[in-house]
Amino acid sequence: MSEEKSLNFIEEIIETDLAAGQYKSILTRFPPEPNGYLHIGHAKSICLNFGLAIKYGGKTNLRFDDTNPAKEETEYVDSIKEDVKWLGFNWSNELYASDYFDQIYSFAVTLIKNGLAYVDDSTADQIAALKGSPTEPGTNSPFRDRSIDENLTQFAAMKAGAYKDGEKVLRVKIDMAANNMHMRDPIIYRIKHAHHHRTGDQWCIYPMYDFAHGQSDSIENITHSICTLEFIPHRELYEWFINQLEIFPSKQYEFARLNMTYTVMSKRKLLQLVTEGHVQSWDDPRMPTISGMKRRGYTPESIRNFCERIGIAKRENLIDVSLLEFCVREDLNLKAKRVMAVLDPVKLVITNYPEGQTEELISENGPDESYGNRKIQFSKELWIEREDFMEEAAKKWFRLAPGALVRLKSAYIVQCNDFLKDTAGNISEIHATYIPESKSGSDTSEIKVKGTIHWVSVLHAMQAEIRLYDRLFNVENPSQEEGDFKEYINPDSLQIISQAFVETSLINSEVGNHFQFIRKGYFCLDKESTKDKLVFNRTVSLKDAWAKEVKK
């Protein structure tokens, strides 16, 4: 029957919890900070959190971790919601950490009342200096022993706006000698007179991550709070707050974030690429962002499948981008309508075909009948791919060359008998004769050819702009190289072909349609396309066995 698929470590935990009756059902959350666009690494987290809830009959909240007004914007909130939906997931509740500011404030007051938090007047530098180092214990702040009443008064004054940014902070009283640096009296509230994208100017103090994230989890009754490895040291604090505040015991689990070859995956770096103009925008098709991949023509199914295949574990990883490309091809192979387009055109003249004659031929749209057929126009002069002709045929060359026979896809077999060169020595025109009885679908010629090439009729072709994308960086792991990661940007990551020719049927294509340009790759219509100027993005090339042969 169905073979057991092995569980990842989080699924094992959940199954154990469920079997023990610890929870009736699970509740997960996807908690982005709205300070940038989502990337493929977030997709891994989204697929995990939503996927777990789907698998075990639970629910998932979308919660924005918006506790730092200086970095967060509504534009990012909107893009994040769009990207999660596009990936195919539905959240139970759209929530914001800022929804809980009142509640979190009262948690802080509780800690003060219990003698567990104090207002510290030290400067940032002083606090850092007293923090010690990983190998040396810290020192207690001189403000650590303020009275509860004084702390209460001062904290209220902080909230009321009596102080400037940085003048005071609220810290929690734990242990300045703890091995875990996060337990050395962490700051839980800071003063920031900044406009918040949702609460406006209502607050001038904001909770820190450690005093907002876990509290939000707990308020929502999140059962499994899943984050990435770098938060492991925060877990001890996460649990400390839950115990001290006696709130719902959400549990934190950590998995390894996604790294992928030839790209970067930090919002900070991606932001730089955008603001410094190395790419056009967050949704530039070369970006590892969800919106970039969408625009490039990747499908949600292929991304979800990719996330499924890479698995969930705790060790550092660097996933080969070719696995993502495989998933994209696998999906597009099933979905993309086949059409013909010539990217680097050279003219082929069928010398024995009647001048002025046009023929309507039938071509299949896909690998089987369910895709249907379409009509294509054939005439005396055709555009073919420059690389499909060789003046002197190489070994194992199946394409056009003087004297060689080749099939024009869905049309006739032709034989090349001449070619012309321009003054610069480039091939300017190729002459061939066609074999009338070799017509596709009713071939009685009994001629076998090894090569089939694509073409479009000169008379009927439409001009189009085609954008080819290559990897954004020319080293596997730009973040790990010496110096600035931007030194490793691939200067040729975008190639624009302004004079390509595509078949007429493409006039009706829409943004979001996927095509296979036969023998050239998968393409989609770009959002910058207009009726007068079609613009296509190459999503991914086809595997190319000949290119490999040439390399050898």
Shortest approach of RNA to residue 289 CB, angstroms?
17
Residues 6+ apart with CB under 8 A from 363: 338, 340, 373, 374, 375, 376, 409, 410, 440
d(C-alpha 337, C-alpha 490), whole Å: 31
* Segment contacting RNA by CB under 7 A, of 48-56, 324-332, 352-360, 501-509: 324-332
Examine the residue annotation and report whether 380 is marked as an active-site residue of this protein.
no
Q: Can you say whether residue 548 is alpha, beta or left, with left for phi > 0 and alpha for psi between -120 and 50 degrees?
A: alpha
Inter-axis angle of helices 40-55 and 9-19, nearest 10: 30
φ and ψ of 517, to 5 deg? -80, 110
Q: Which of residues 259-298 bind RNA (CB under 7 A)?
A: none
Q: Which of residues 199-238 bind RNA (CB under 7 A)?
A: 206, 208-209, 212-213, 229-234
By the 8 A CB rule, do 318 and 13 touch?
A: no
In the complex with RNA, which residue's Cβ is closer, 6 or 530?
6
In the complex with RNA, which residue's Cβ is closer, 123 or 358?
123
In the complex with RNA, which residue's Cβ is closer, 208 or 280?
208
Residues 235-254, one symbol each (x = binds RNA by CB under 7 A, - = not), give: --------------------
Interaction between residue 79 and RNA (CB under 7 A)? no
Encoded amino acid at 345, one letter: P
Residues in the chain: 552
For residue 223, give Cα distances in angstroms to 48, 251, 252: 14, 6, 9
d(C-alpha 363, C-alpha 440), whole Å: 9
Shortest approach of RNA to residue 206 CB, angstroms?
6
Examine the residue annotation and report whether 33 is marked as an active-site residue of this protein.
yes
Q: Which of residues 489-528 bind RNA (CB under 7 A)?
A: 516, 518-519
In the complex with RNA, which residue's Cβ is closer, 299 or 410?
410
| Options 144, 173, 198, 257, the catalytic residue | 257
Number of residues that bind RNA (CB under 7 A): 93
By the 8 A CB rule, do 94 and 62 touch?
A: yes
Q: Which of residues 25-54 bind RNA (CB under 7 A)?
A: 33
Residues 327-346, one symbol each (x = binds RNA by CB under 7 A, - = not), give: --xx--x----x--------
* Segment contacting RNA by CB under 7 A, of 54-62, 133-141, 144-152, 500-508: 133-141
Nearest alpha-carbon partner for 66 in 225, 230, 194 = 194
Nearest 5°: the CA angle 103, 108, 111 is 130
Enter the DSSP assignment of 126: H
Separate counts of helices (H) and strands (E) for the chain: 13, 25
Interaction between residue 398 and RNA (CB under 7 A)? yes
Interaction between residue 90 and RNA (CB under 7 A)? no
d(C-alpha 59, C-alpha 541), whole Å: 38
Q: How many CA atoms lie within 13 A of 430 on its CB side?
A: 28
Shortest approach of RNA to residue 304 CB, angstroms?
14
Q: Which of residues 431-490 bind RNA (CB under 7 A)?
A: 438-441, 443, 451-454, 480
Looking at 317, 358, 373, 463, which residue binds RNA (CB under 7 A)? 317
* Segment contacting RNA by CB under 7 A, of 142-150, 187-195, 245-253, 279-287: 187-195
Shortest approach of RNA to residue 450 CB, angstroms?
7
In the complex with RNA, which residue's Cβ is closer, 375 or 527?
375
d(C-alpha 156, C-alpha 113), whole Å: 13
Looking at 2, 21, 135, 275, which residue binds RNA (CB under 7 A)? 135
Shortest approach of RNA to residue 6 CB, angstroms?
3
Examine the residue annotation and report whether 294 is marked as an active-site residue of this protein.
no
Interaction between residue 20 and RNA (CB under 7 A)? no
By the 8 A CB rule, do 419 and 431 touch?
A: yes
Catalytic residues: 33, 257, 267
